[in-house]
Amino acid sequence: MKLFVYSYRTFDEDVYFREFSKEYGVELGICHQGPSMENAHLAEGYDYISILTSKINAALVRRFRELGVKMISTRTIGYDHIDLDAARACGMKVSNVTYSPECVADYTMLLILMSIRKMKRILQRAELNDFSLPGIQGGELHNFTVGVIGTGKIGQAVIRDLSGFGCKIYAYDVYRSESVKEYADYVENVQEIYQKCDLITLHMPLFESNFHMIDEKAMAQMKDGVVLINTARGGLIDTKALIKGLETGKVGAAGLDVIEDLKSKCLSKHDLCILRSFPNVVVTPHMAFYTDQAVSDMVKNSILSCCLNERGEENPWEVK
């Protein structure tokens, strides 16, 4: 089987691509850039392509199909960067991957603790050799009521981890998990999370239906000083509303591993600078997933997904 890999990262993926391509008998083609109309021709003669987060619009989907590509495998859990309607229309299959939920769960706990213990402010002062105490008194997690929106594998891992801190946990998801009920109480609607919780953490994919679900109206229902954590998708939070909430004190702190997309102009550089200027806001570059285990899983499962499709076997990663 032949697989063409776009956005090939030598610095972290190379060892895994070499290992798993050999294990599964896969011939690789490599491009270090993301897929585009200008370099799509490189995939000619390959039945499968593997990508990261580059936007795959309808024209690019059709171009790859014309070149004989059977399936686009994204080495990410999210697949909203691929035009699924165009893929279905031209018979192109799409698949994603899964990786250990512990990487994002661990990072979520990191952002939670950094937010409630005012760690950004502490580190900023330490850089100036200022070790004074006023203004850096934090909270204890067991005193917080925490809301977890989204109880898939990552949300479940976060809830399990939170339970060890002794805090009250509420959960919301359209699809409920029995394992969650051991540690958290499900609520009937997301508004209950907004109203009851001191800290809210997001763990769901992004769809048109939940774009900007945390907006000014949602924040108005929340407790004053609420802490917001987002390691899921940037578009779940309206950044302008968040900035306003931080300025008024409605939002007491925020830990963000994802922000709205600068390229799609959902977020301006000016807004990003304002957001990062707050001493109670931690912004990191979408790296909650970034562990050795997760990168290995991403590469392995992308290759394996293509192999399963080639053999006509059940593919758990195919996006239906």
CA distance 148 to 202: 6
pLDDT, one tens digit per residue, over 157-215 is 999 999 999 999 999 999 999 999 999 999 999 999 999 999 999 999 888 899 999 99
Of all helices (H) and strands (E), which one includes residue 226? strand 226-230
Backbone phi, then psi, for 197, in 5-degree steps? -105, 145
pLDDT, one tens digit per residue, over 139-155 is 999 999 999 999 999 99
Query: What pLDDT, on a 0 to 100 scale, did the predictor assign at position 267?
Result: 74
Beta strand pairing status for 71-74 and 93-95?
Answer: parallel
CA distance 111 to 257: 8
Assess whether pLDDT exceeds 80 at residue 292: yes
pLDDT, one tens digit per residue, over 2-27 is 999 999 999 999 999 999 999 999 99
237: Cβ contacts below 8 Å, ≥ 6 apart: 202, 212, 213, 214, 228, 230, 256, 260
Contact between 266 and 235 under an 8 Å Cβ cutoff? The reply is: yes
Please calculate the CA angle 71-208-315 and round it to the nearest 5 degrees. 25
Token pair for residue 228? 């917001």
β-strand partners of 229 = 201, 255
Assess whether pLDDT exceeds 80 at residue 242: yes
Q: Does the predicted TM-score (pTM) go above 0.85?
A: yes
6: Cβ contacts below 8 Å, ≥ 6 apart: 31, 33, 34, 35, 39, 49, 50, 51, 52, 54
Where do the H-state alpha helices sit in the chain? 14-24, 58-66, 84-90, 102-116, 119-127, 153-163, 190-196, 216-220, 239-248, 269-277, 292-310
At 254, the pLDDT band (50, 70, 90 cuts) reads: very high
Q: How far is CA 301 from CA 45, 81, 154, 166, 317, in A?
A: 22, 19, 17, 36, 8
Q: Strand order in 199-202's β-sheet?
A: 185-186, 168-172, 145-149, 199-202, 226-230, 251-256, 281-283
Query: What pLDDT, on a 0 to 100 scale, did the predictor assign at position 75?
Result: 98
188: Cβ contacts below 8 Å, ≥ 6 apart: none
- What is the number of alpha carbons within 13 Å of residue 264 lying toward its C-beta? 9
CA distance 312 to 302: 16
Residue type, 280: N
pLDDT, one tens digit per residue, over 219-230 is 999 999 999 999
β-strand partners of 237 = 214
Residue type, 267: L
108: Cβ contacts below 8 Å, ≥ 6 apart: 154, 158, 161, 201, 203, 229, 231, 288
Burial class (CB in 10 A: 0-12, 13-18, 19+), 155: buried
